[in-house]
Structure 1
Amino acid sequence: MQTKQVQEQKRSSSTFKNIIWIIIGVFVAYNIKLYINRSSLAQFEIRGNEIIMENKGLNLQDFQLSSLSRVLSQNPQTTKLNAQLSLNYINDFRNFFVSLEKLKDLNELSLSLGNNPIINELEQANLLSQALSKLTKLETLILGLDSIFNNDSRETIIKGLSKISRLNTLRVSLINCDLSGNGLKSLYPLTELQNLKSLELILVGSKLKEEEMKHLQTILHKLPKLTKLNLNLYANKIQIDGAITLRDGLFQQRQLKEFEIDLYFNNITTNGTESLMGVVGSMENLTQLNLGLEFNYIKNEGGILVGKALSQLKNLKDLSVNAATKNFGWEGYEAIVSAIERLPPLESLELIIGVNKCGLPGAELLKQTLFKHDKLKSLKINFLENYVGDAGATYIAEGIQYQKNLQILSVNMNFNSLSDRGALELARAVKNAKSPKIVDFRVSQNQITDKGIKDVFLLLEKALPKVDLLEVELLNTALTNATRDDIELKYGKVDKLQIRLNTIPPSNWE
């Protein structure tokens, strides 16, 4: 009896051990699989002589980067490389940079390294600088260094790329890099690029103030004559004096054909606007202009100055004006839109002029402008919070329907006191528009009912056969839960249609 009990206990113990080993085996297998999956996160694709590495934000670590370094070493004939490696956990790029310099035939390079916790900054900067200097056939370089490297290391890298004699197109992104004080001096070697024709400097949130603009002025003075210039100074504090200093630098680049400047939240006010618009108005060769003046307190006087500058540009084909600001009124709006109306026919127009309460007269003026520019290929209207009402929406809809060659259409009429009627007029304009392939349609924060929203979708549904993509935003309307569910059930999985809906309590509309 005792022997039998002992045997059963042994059998039970053996079974328990087997179960434990099975669990351990499964756990080990899972972790091996997990390790393999983590290793395989490093992605690349080879298309002839082009290598594409789309690895932004995949949480890659150093050991995963090594596989990408081998790809470079094994493909020295590569002429085009797109390596997006930002937003990872990579400490050490040294082997990658050593492999990069072997691509002697490289003609185009897009390399994004930003927001990685790199170590031994100066050593890695030296290796990147050395690699870039050896890419003697490089003509196009897009370099992303957001939130990494100090000024000395950055200058080392810029010195390296400044030795690429054939380089004619350059984009350097330094988002959230501290360039205060003498930080912009690290970019001085750019002036040695005598064949440079196109330059983009993305200096968002770089702690630039009035004093720092003197360094940017120096760079602009010493650069060769460019055909394209993009200065993104979003979220800095250059203010009036900085704008005046920047103007003096831009004066040396008046031959530009394409110019883009973003000064969002720099508090340049009317006086700073006057300085900048004075030089912009003298750029007689401009075919493309992008003005980002949002929230700079330019007021009506600033709007009039923008209009005056635009009226002098007779060769424009592509125009984007962002003058959204709470301190803006009818006179400034009228000056800008009337100036656009008087321009020769445009191919592309983007007008971001929200938060100005231009109302019904503003919508009617825009309609007249769109009647004049009736051959647009791209039209983007952002009338956020202008309270144009249903009648104003009808005017804008008429202007859209008058277009003959549209390929891209974006309409943002959020916060405009629309009811069903206004939303339907805009939806009908989308349906009737001649040939748009990409449409972005937004009528959020308006009092549109269940019936109105259903009718909007019935109209937009008829536009689907001719478009490649239709995005619809209807947030914070008078939509009920039941109708929202019906719409999501009917259209939620429709090809080429992307919708954003929600509901709010009815009391919000009382």
Structure 2
Amino acid sequence: MDSQGLSNLSFGLAKCANLQTFTVDLSQNIIGGFGASDLGSALAKCLNLSNLTLKFNCNSIGSQGTQAFCSQLAKFNNLSNLTLNLNENSISDKGVSELGFSLTKCAKLQILTLFLEQNLIGDKGMSNLGSAFEKLTNLSTLNFYICDNKISSLGASALFFGLSKCSNLSILILDFGNQIGEIGASNLGASLTNHVKLQNLIINLNQNKINDKSVLDLASGIANCVNISKLTLHLNNNLIGTQGASDLGVNLGKCVHLSSLTLNIKKNSIGNKGVLYLGTELAKCTRLSFLTVNLQYKESFGLKLKGKVKKMKRLVEIIIVKEY
């Protein structure tokens, strides 16, 4: 579909005054900025719209097209559930900044899913989006995918500070495959201390140069999420050593409501002692029912690890994956 085809669709949608839920997949088309803007203008006339899913990925919308669309998004006063896929559209800092501003106008927004991967977004864009998140205090669910951009610890820290204000979150997914480094990971941990209502947390920080200090800060923040029951951590290809593995285990052991845990920590420098320390501490998660650990170890240490965690009375499924 090209921009003209989308304009024709938009003309019809503008007449659907009672529309409450709308989903459209326009992935890998050539709608461009004008098409996205026309669709936004049409949907802004659907005053009862509360659930919206738009898949614009791979459409060459660019920063100007994103800004034009988002100027209309700001008019969606009754929107409570938004999924927006803008992957691979070169929206840059200008586009994501306008997106953040528009989201602050959606006062009833509770569930937000954003795909912003491969978009030339840098620290300035992340800082502006973080400022917007500060105002989204009604959010209960945030799914945020931002891999393969140009974000350093500076932009990530600004974003995480904004997220710390979203104290009503119960579900949080952060897919952050950028070079945020130890400072960014530490500041993420600090931001999590305010999320006392958080129950389900998924974090992807693969290949981010996270060391023992930053994994301690991250794990300490998670330990403050006192109601967390489901946790998935992707920490592959980092700089975590034996001490980091031990500190990670110690803090996860403080999550007294944790029932499901997935740890992906292969290609670090944990070593066999680190594996044993981790197992010893995880055994203190007395409510754990499902455990998956993906790491590197010698066979004998793997058996000892399994032996330690199998002592947990409620554990019904355990998967220890050996990677080389």
Q: TM-score, normalised by structure 2?
A: 0.79
Which residue is 1:376 aligned to? Answer: 169
Q: Does 1:472 align with 2:263?
A: yes
8 A Cα contact 2:17 2:47, kept in partner: no
Which residue is 2:245 aligned to? Answer: 453
Could you report, residue by residue, the CA deviation over 1:454-475 in whole angstroms, capped at 9, with x for unpaired residues?
Answer: 5434543453x51231111123
Could you report, residue by residue, the CA deviation over 1:376-409 in whole angstroms, capped at 9, with x for unpaired residues?
Answer: 2112222211x22222212111111221111111
8 A Cα contact 1:326 1:356, kept in partner: yes
Which residue of 82, 94, 102 maps to 1:301?
A: 94
8 A Cα contact 1:216 1:249, kept in partner: no
Which residue of 54, 57, 75 maps to 1:282?
A: 75
Cα distance in structure 2, aligned partners of 1:430 and 1:344:
20
Which residue is 1:397 aligned to? Answer: 189
* Higher-RCO chain (CA-CA 8 Å, sequence separation at least 6): 2
Which residue of 182, 204, 207 maps to 1:412?
A: 204
Which residue of 345, 353, 356 maps to 2:146?
A: 353
Query: Quick one: structure 1 residues 501 and 244, their matched pair in 2 at CA, closer, same or farther if it must change by over 3 Å?
Result: farther
Cα distance in structure 1, aligned partners of 2:50 and 2:113:
14
Which residue is 2:283 aligned to? Answer: none
SS of the equivalent of 1:342 reads: coil
Q: Which amino acid aligns with 1:381?
A: L
8 A Cα contact 1:370 1:403, kept in partner: no
SS of the equivalent of 1:466 reads: coil
Q: Does 1:431 align with 2:252?
A: no
Q: Which amino acid aligns with 1:470?
A: L
Q: Which amino acid aligns with 1:404?
A: V
Listed as ranges, the gaps of 5+ residues in structure 1 are 1-207, 504-510
Cα distance in structure 2, aligned partners of 1:214 and 1:224:
17
Query: Quick one: structure 1 residues 252 and 370, their matched pair in 2 at CA, closer, same or farther if it must change by over 3 Å?
Result: closer
Report which of the two has the higher share of helix: 1
What's the offset of the Cα at 1:346? 2.3
Q: TM-score, normalised by structure 1?
A: 0.52
What's the offset of the Cα at 1:481? 7.8
Which residue is 1:230 aligned to? Answer: 23
Which residue is 1:344 aligned to? Answer: 137
What's the offset of the Cα at 1:498? 5.4
Query: Quick one: structure 1 residues 328 and 363, their matched pair in 2 at CA, closer, same or farther if it must change by over 3 Å?
Result: closer
Q: How many residues align?
A: 294
Cα distance in structure 1, aligned partners of 2:322 and 2:150:
26
8 A Cα contact 2:130 2:161, kept in partner: no
SS of the equivalent of 1:289 reads: strand
What's the offset of the Cα at 1:296? 0.9
Cα distance in structure 1, aligned partners of 2:205 and 2:35:
34
Which residue of 213, 228, 246 maps to 2:6?
A: 213
Which residue is 1:321 aligned to? Answer: 114
Listed as ranges, the gaps of 5+ residues in structure 2 are 276-295
Larger-gyration structure (1/2): 1
8 A Cα contact 2:3 2:34, kept in partner: yes
What's the offset of the Cα at 1:297? 0.2
Cα distance in structure 2, aligned partners of 1:311 and 1:458:
38
SS of the equivalent of 1:265 reads: coil
The Cα RMSD (Å) is: 2.7
Task: Tell me whether 218-227 or 332-341 shows the greater mean CA deviation.
Answer: 218-227
8 A Cα contact 2:129 2:159, kept in partner: no
8 A Cα contact 1:370 1:402, kept in partner: no
8 A Cα contact 2:196 2:224, kept in partner: no
Cα distance in structure 2, aligned partners of 1:395 and 1:281:
30
8 A Cα contact 1:470 1:498, kept in partner: no
Cα distance in structure 1, aligned partners of 2:318 and 2:62:
41
SS of the equivalent of 1:368 reads: helix
8 A Cα contact 2:140 2:168, kept in partner: yes
8 A Cα contact 1:471 1:499, kept in partner: no
What's the offset of the Cα at 1:476? 3.0
